[in-house]
Structure 1
Amino acid sequence: MIVKQLSEIVGTENDVKAENGNWASRRFLLKKDGMGFSFHDTTIFAGTETYIWYKYHLEAVYCVAGEGEIEDLETGITHPISDGTMYALNGNERHYLRARKDMRLICVFNPPLTGAEVHDEDGAYPLLSDSA
Structure 2
Amino acid sequence: MIVHDVEDLRKTDRHVVTDSWRSTRLIVKGDGLGYSVHHTVVPEGSEVHCHYKEHYETNYCIAGAGEVFDVATGKTHPIAVGTVYALDQHDEHILRALKGDLHLVCVFNPPLAGTETHNAHGGYDPA
Give the TM-score taking structure 2 as reference length: 0.96
**1:116 Cα shift?**
3.0
2:6 is matched with which residue?
Answer: 6
Question: Secondary structure of the residue that 2:8 maps to in structure 1?
Answer: helix
For 1:116 and 1:126, locate their aligned partners in 2 and report how far apart those are by CA, in whole Å: 12
1:84 is matched with which residue?
Answer: 82
Whichever residue aligns with residue 121 of structure 2, its letter is D
Question: Secondary structure of the residue that 1:39 maps to in structure 2?
Answer: strand
The structure showing larger relative contact order (alpha-carbon pairs under 8 Å, at least 6 residues apart) is: 2
For 1:123 and 1:29, locate their aligned partners in 2 and report how far apart those are by CA, in whole Å: 21
Select between 35-44 and 5-14 the one with higher mean Cα deviation.
5-14
Q: Deviations over 1:30-60 (max 9, x none)?
A: 1110000000011011101111000000000
1:116 is matched with which residue?
Answer: 115
2:55 is matched with which residue?
Answer: 57
Which runs of structure 1 show a deviation greater than 4 angstroms over 4 or more consecutive aligned residues? none
- Equivalent pairs counted in the alignment come to 126
For 1:102 and 1:62, locate their aligned partners in 2 and report how far apart those are by CA, in whole Å: 14
Give the TM-score taking structure 1 as reference length: 0.93
For 1:41 and 1:85, locate their aligned partners in 2 and report how far apart those are by CA, in whole Å: 15
Gaps of 5+ in 2: none
1:28 corresponds, among 19, 26, 29, to 26
Whichever residue aligns with residue 46 of structure 1, its letter is E
1:48 corresponds, among 46, 51, 72, to 46
For 1:42 and 1:12, locate their aligned partners in 2 and report how far apart those are by CA, in whole Å: 15
For 2:13 and 2:113, locate their aligned partners in 1 and report how far apart those are by CA, in whole Å: 12
For 2:126 and 2:43, locate their aligned partners in 1 and report how far apart those are by CA, in whole Å: 26
Q: Deviations over 1:61-87 (max 9, x none)?
A: 000000100000011100000100000
Tell me, yes or no, if structure 1 residue 98 matches structure 2 residue 85. Answer: no
For 1:61 and 1:80, locate their aligned partners in 2 and report how far apart those are by CA, in whole Å: 13
Question: Secondary structure of the residue that 2:58 maps to in structure 1?
Answer: strand
